[in-house]
C-alpha cells in the first residue's frame, strides 16, 4: 500500500509518499507558482518517480494547504491544521503545541493527549510573524533568507527592532545599519521580535511543554533559538520541517483507507494530462 500527500502552501508545494506502515518513501519540494494545478502534478509526478512507483500504485492521495482545492487528482482535501496534527502525532507523540511558521501565515495548534486538534490560532492578516517578514528584510539587507539563522548566531548582542509592521521595520533596519549596528545583530533582533510574536500566539492557546516548530521558519536555527529563549525550554523540530503538512496528509489518507473510505480518483482522473 502507498499513500501520497500534497501540500500546496503559499510559497512552496510539497509532496510525500509513505508506505503501508506510514514510513516516508520519497518527498519533493518545489516553489508554488501561479499555476497551482500544473505544479501540483509536476511535484507529485517527480515524487512518484523518486519512490519508483507509478501513479496507479497510489492507494490514496490527500491534498492540503491553502491551494488544496487546486489538486484535481486528489481523493480528498483536508485542512493543513489537521494534517500537521497528524504528522506531529506520528513524529512526536508527546507534543501538545505546534507552532507552524509558513511563508505567508503562522499558526499555533493545540493538541489533546490523543494528538487531536483542540484549538488553533492563525495569523494570515499581517506579514509580521510570517516568513514574508524575514524575506522582505533579508532583501533589504542584501542577504539570503536561508543564511539568516547562521548569521544571527554570530551576534554577541541583538539590536531591538521596535516596529512590528514589515514596511516600517524595513525602514528601521536601514536606520540601525546607518547607526552602525552589524547585520548579525540586526538579524538577531529581528528573530527576537519575531519569536515574541509567535510565542505570544502559542501562549494564547495555553502553552505546554513539548512544543514543536514546523514550516519554513523551523529551518532557521537563529529563530528556533530565539523561540527557546522566549519559552524557556528546548523545542522540537522535525528533520524536514517543510514536509510536516504533506506527511500528515499522506498519513490521513492511510487512516481514511483503513476506515473503509475508498478512492474514486480513477474516474475523475480522466481528462487530466500529465507532465512527461
Residues 144-163 touching another protein, rule: CB under 8 A, are 163
Q: Which stretch binds another protein (CB under 8 A): 123-131, 142-150, 182-190, 255-263?
A: 123-131
Q: Which stretch binds another protein (CB under 8 A): 89-97, 112-120, 166-174, 192-200?
A: 166-174
Residues 23-42 touching another protein, rule: CB under 8 A, are 34
Cβ(61)–Cβ(51) below 8 Å: no
Q: Is residue 122 a contact residue for another protein (CB under 8 A)? A: no
Which is closer to another protein, CB of 77 or CB of 163? Answer: 163
Cβ(252)–Cβ(86) below 8 Å: yes
At its nearest, how many Å lie between another protein and the CB of residue 204?
A: 18
Q: Is residue 168 a contact residue for another protein (CB under 8 A)? A: yes
Q: Which stretch binds another protein (CB under 8 A): 55-63, 84-92, 167-175, 237-245?
A: 167-175
Residues 93-112 touching another protein, rule: CB under 8 A, are 104
Q: Is residue 231 a contact residue for another protein (CB under 8 A)? A: no
In the set 23, 52, 113, 178, which binds another protein (CB under 8 A)? 178
Task: Give the DSSP letter of residue 112.
Answer: -
At its nearest, how many Å lie between another protein and the CB of residue 167?
A: 4
Taking CB atoms within 8 Å and a gap of at least 24, the contacts of 160-163 are 160/189, 160/192, 160/193, 161/186, 161/189, 161/190, 161/193
- 151-177 b/e (C-beta count within 10 Å ≥ 16 → b): bbeebeebbebeebebeebbebbeebb
In the set 51, 63, 127, 173, which binds another protein (CB under 8 A)? 127
In the set 20, 139, 167, 272, which binds another protein (CB under 8 A)? 167
Which is closer to another protein, CB of 88 or CB of 141? Answer: 141
In the set 77, 79, 140, 164, which binds another protein (CB under 8 A)? 164
Pairing of the two strands 24-31 and 2-8:
unpaired
At its nearest, how many Å lie between another protein and the CB of residue 110?
A: 25
Give the angle subtended at the CA of 217 by the CAs of 212 and 220, to the nearest 5°.
Answer: 100
Round to whole Å and give the CA distance between 38 and 130: 26
Round to whole Å and give the CA distance between 191 and 151: 11
Whole-angstrom CA distances from 140 to 31, 78, 219 are: 22, 37, 20
Residue 205 CB neighbours (<10 A) = 19
What would you report as the CA-atom Rg of the chain, rounded to the nearest whole angstrom?
Answer: 19
Which is closer to another protein, CB of 23 or CB of 178? Answer: 178
Which is closer to another protein, CB of 92 or CB of 133? Answer: 133
Q: Which residues bind another protein (CB under 8 A)?
A: 34, 104, 125-127, 132-133, 136, 163-168, 175, 178
Amino acid at each position: 500500500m502507498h499513500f501520497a500527500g500534497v501540500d500546496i502552501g503559499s510559497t512552496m508545494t510539497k509532496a510525500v509518499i509513505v508506505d503501508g506502515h506510514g514510513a516516508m518513501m520519497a518527498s519533493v519540494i518545489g516553489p508554488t507558482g501561479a499555476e497551482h494545478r500544473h505544479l501540483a502534478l509536476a511535484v507529485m509526478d517527480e515524487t512518484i518517480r523518486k519512490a519508483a512507483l507509478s501513479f496507479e500504485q497510489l492507494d490514496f492521495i490527500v491534498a492540503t494547504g491553502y491551494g488544496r482545492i487546486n489538486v484535481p487528482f486528489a481523493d480528498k482535501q483536508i485542512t493543513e491544521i489537521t494534517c500537521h496534527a497528524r504528522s506531529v502525532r506520528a513524529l512526536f507523540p508527546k507534543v501538545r503545541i505546534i507552532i507552524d511558521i509558513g511563508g505567508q501565515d503562522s499558526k499555533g495548534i493545540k493538541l489533546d493527549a490523543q494528538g487531536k486538534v483542540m484549538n488553533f490560532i492563525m495569523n494570515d492578516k499581517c506579514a509580521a510573524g510570517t516568513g514574508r517578514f524575514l524575506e522582505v528584510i533579508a532583501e533589504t539587507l542584501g542577504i539570503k533568507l536561508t543564511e539568516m539563522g547562521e548569521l544571527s548566531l554570530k551576534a554577541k548582542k541583538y539590536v531591538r527592532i521596535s516596529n512590528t509592521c514589515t514596511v516600517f521595520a524595513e525602514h528601521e533596519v536601514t536606520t540601525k545599519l546607518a547607526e552602525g549596528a552589524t547585520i548579525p545583530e540586526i538579524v538577531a533582533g529581528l528573530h527576537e521580535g519575531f519569536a515574541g510574536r509567535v510565542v505570544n500566539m502559542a501562549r494564547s492557546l495555553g502553552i505546554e511543554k513539548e512544543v514543536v516548530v514546523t514550516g519554513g521558519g523551523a529551518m532557521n536555527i537563529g529563530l528556533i533559538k530565539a523561540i527557546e529563549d522566549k519559552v524557556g525550554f528546548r523545542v522540537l523540530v522535525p528533520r524536514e520541517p517543510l514536509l510536516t503538512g504533506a506527511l500528515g496528509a499522506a498519513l490521513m489518507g492511510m487512516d481514511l483507507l483503513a476506515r473503509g473510505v475508498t478512492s474514486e480518483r480513477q474516474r475523475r482522473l480522466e481528462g487530466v494530462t500529465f507532465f512527461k
